[in-house]
Structure 1
């Protein structure tokens, strides 16, 4: 994982947004101006739940994903990863089993294992979790929580249809199982509107909805949030205990950007660019990689899942790519099992001659393995 995010490599391995598309200058001006406008707030501990102005804006924007949240339903976190960890800590007991869509975002695997929990991988496809397998797993295992990325999954890029989201929420609610939903890529839909979240179908408060501005505004600001439903009090207590509160200056800056920075215009712009660049990376894989290679076709985000012919080893491709200064994420890091050996994740957030040359080089290596 350290090599995947190495800035000296051609950046094809991590889930990092394209820095050229982020509103760096405007955000930095707002960071400075808000610190001057609210000098005491900017250097003080904020409420553990986060500044109310930011929570109000997030709650208002949740209507776009089909939710109806109040400011007090939201807890500000240090990125989406902390939101997910708080959600897990709020619902688990040591030794519990957590169902998670496979292939799995590696940080989820590490968090689940670090907490002493058991991982139950549920196969996923272009429409998300296989609900038949999940239903069977629930009936034959003591599943205490389920984790999924419903919109533009990392690493598959898949989008779960609304009806399937409803079915997932109803299935888990029937067994009183919490759903921890990561929707960090939801705002990056290529279409005219963002897709609904699974939280939109939550009637029992069992969906702990997590997201952040790391993929759209500023990963280094570490501003995320969680709407934890019936677990709100427990999550707020954990946030105060483990982290006290998230940074005040960056909360103030993001709130100002949402109010006066043209966030929706910014989203429309980067959606168009990511749609175009993802298509360019897909076409390059088709040109340069061996016959039989398949690539996902996402409707949002900038993550691609590549399946090489079955006899090819993506970890060998990863190792050879490092020697050429190119980083990819081999499929084996997305599972605890013996799967995805011929698969890898590509970051399609950037496109340039350097990126195309790197893909041509990788394709040549794959053909020679």
Structure 2
């Protein structure tokens, strides 16, 4: 295995780049558990770095629990490294219609997110300690001083033109060329999705979705009296196009709604070829797509994945995204580029709440325009990459050997699948009694009966000794439940 030399990025020390290069090889399975890593001298020569840089990189990988050192022998991939645990298989959802989410449970999950005593592994919230809060606060103060009347005025339903201009520039990175007037600013991506559903459906219509699906989407479908058609989904590659085409041939599907890049909760990401095939399929059957791309900026390797809208030649994609996962959830800045449906989406916005608050829009626009957003994103990606890796390693170290866990290449959620018969709701309650919040898998099921042996973990929480202890506790609770299940199955 030969590695090419690397160059230093302005905001990252060299040994971190070396460590991440090796960590990627471990995560992708090129370096397997028990493999010997290149010697310090050999890696120094390959990467054109100093020996001290290589040693610091190996120490960092030791701290992350990925490698171990053997005296007089060298560095080795740890025997409990990431590729020991299998991934979940492609999902096989039931065909039941969307049901009412357990609202009290949804509310308890949100309330738990406000409790500082609880380890926040449940709701998929970004870590505020990783967000540029001081810069945002300064910008907000300046805006309120410099533009007091505009900051307190009603805005156009479309939103502030300066913010829409900055978002249009950023969307070039997704492969999409949109004009500022093609965008509508919303209160987060959830509102954008809700208005998009209203724009293209009538009560009783069928909406095709990934399975498992973000539970807020399922709640929206129920509120709008829509039916959910759940599609088998692979944890890495996304929905099954074969199952989608079969459904399009036999059923009346009004719209497809999916998360294209690093979906919640599986973390799947469709490649460009599959995105092109999907658009060809939707064009053939004249079906629109509501695309949720809130996690697209949180990729760990390579370039930002393109949006499906980048391959939309007929303007049938309603593209939704937000800054909530990458800048500030509290600003509530989302947007929609709805193509041929833009007037309908804007109409629903204008009669529902007229416009999004202008002061947060001006703050977001100023931050996007000052040139620091890309640097912030690079730092955030590295933090999430490390935190997700540590949590995957903790699952391998502390959970039952039968556990399966996803291997996303972006985002900040993990999906854990336990053996059949495992009760994730009982696990959720036992974890909450230990002041740890997780989300049971049935919350992501349209039928309410799927994924009862699964749960989702939020990996946006910065790693710490207390988080490591929480993962140990979760592992013990999982082992205890499996042992009790095994005893109850004895004749």
TM-score (structure 2 length as normaliser): 0.74
Could you list the per-position Cα deviations for residues 35-86 of structure 1 after superposition, in whole angstroms to 9, with x for gaps in the alignment? 2222221010011100111001101110101101110110000000000001
Match 2:456 to one of 335, 345, 352 = 345
Deviation string 1:141-182 (CA, Å, 9 cap, x unpaired) is 110001000100000011111111111122112111110000
Q: Which has the higher contact order (CA 8 A, sep 6+)?
A: 1
**Equivalent residues of 1:3, 1:327 under 8 A apart:** no
User: For the residues of structure 2 that align with 1:98 and 1:336, how far apart are their CA atoms?
Assistant: 11
Q: Which moved more, 1:279-288 or 1:309-318?
A: 309-318
The aligned counterpart of 2:42 is none
Provide, for residues 300-341 of structure 1, a one-character-per-residue CA deviation record: whole Å limited to 9, x for no partner: 111101111223221111111111111101111101222111
Q: How many residues align?
A: 369
Secondary structure at the residue paired with 1:152? coil
- Indicate which of 150, 156, 181 corresponds to 2:291: 181
User: Which residue does 1:88 correspond to in 2?
Assistant: 197
How far apart are the structure 2 equivalents of 1:171 and 1:185?
24
State whether structure 2 residue 150 is matched by structure 1 residue 41: yes
Measure, in 1, the Cα distance between the counterparts of 2:306 and 2:343. Answer: 25
2: CA distance between counterparts of 1:105 and 1:93?
Answer: 21
Mapped partners of 2:473, 2:480: distance in 1: 11
Q: CA deviation at 1:245?
A: 0.2
The equivalent of 1:2 in structure 2 is 107
In the alignment, which of 279, 295, 300 is matched to residue 389 of structure 2?
Answer: 279
Select the structure of larger CA radius of gyration. Answer: 2
Q: What secondary structure, in the 3-state scheme, does the structure 2 residue paired with 1:187 have?
A: coil
- CA shift, 1:261, in A, is 5.2
Aligned residue among 323, 346, 353 for 1:236: 346
Deviation digits for residues 233-275 of structure 1, max 9, x if unmatched?
A: 1111111111100010000000000011500000000000100
**Matched residues in 2 for 1:336 and 1:148: separation?**
14
Tell me the CA shift for residue 193 of structure 1. 2.4
CA distance in 2, matches of 1:308, 1:359: 15
CA drift at 1:229: 0.4
- Of the three residues 459, 462, 470, the one matched with 1:358 is 470
CA contact (8 A) 1:100 1:146 kept: yes
**Structure 2: segments with no counterpart, 5+ residues:** 1-105, 482-491
Q: Which runs of 5+ in 1 are unaligned?
A: none
Give the aligned partner of residue 296 of structure 1. Answer: 406
Indicate if the aligned counterparts of 1:143 and 1:177 stay in contact, CA closer than 8 A: yes
2:183 equivalent in structure 1? 74
Q: CA deviation at 1:297?
A: 0.7
Inter-partner Cα distance in structure 2 for 1:53 and 1:177? 33
The CA distance in 2 between the partners of 1:66 and 1:291, in whole Å, is 41
The aligned residue for residue 129 of structure 1 is: 239
The whole-number CA distance in structure 1 between the counterparts of 2:192 and 2:345 is 9
Partner of 1:208: 318
Residue matched to 1:193: 303
Alpha-carbon distance between aligned partners in 2 of 1:106 and 1:223, rounded to the nearest angstrom: 20
Query: In the alignment, is residue 170 of structure 1 matched against residue 275 of structure 2?
Result: no
SS at match of 2:254: strand
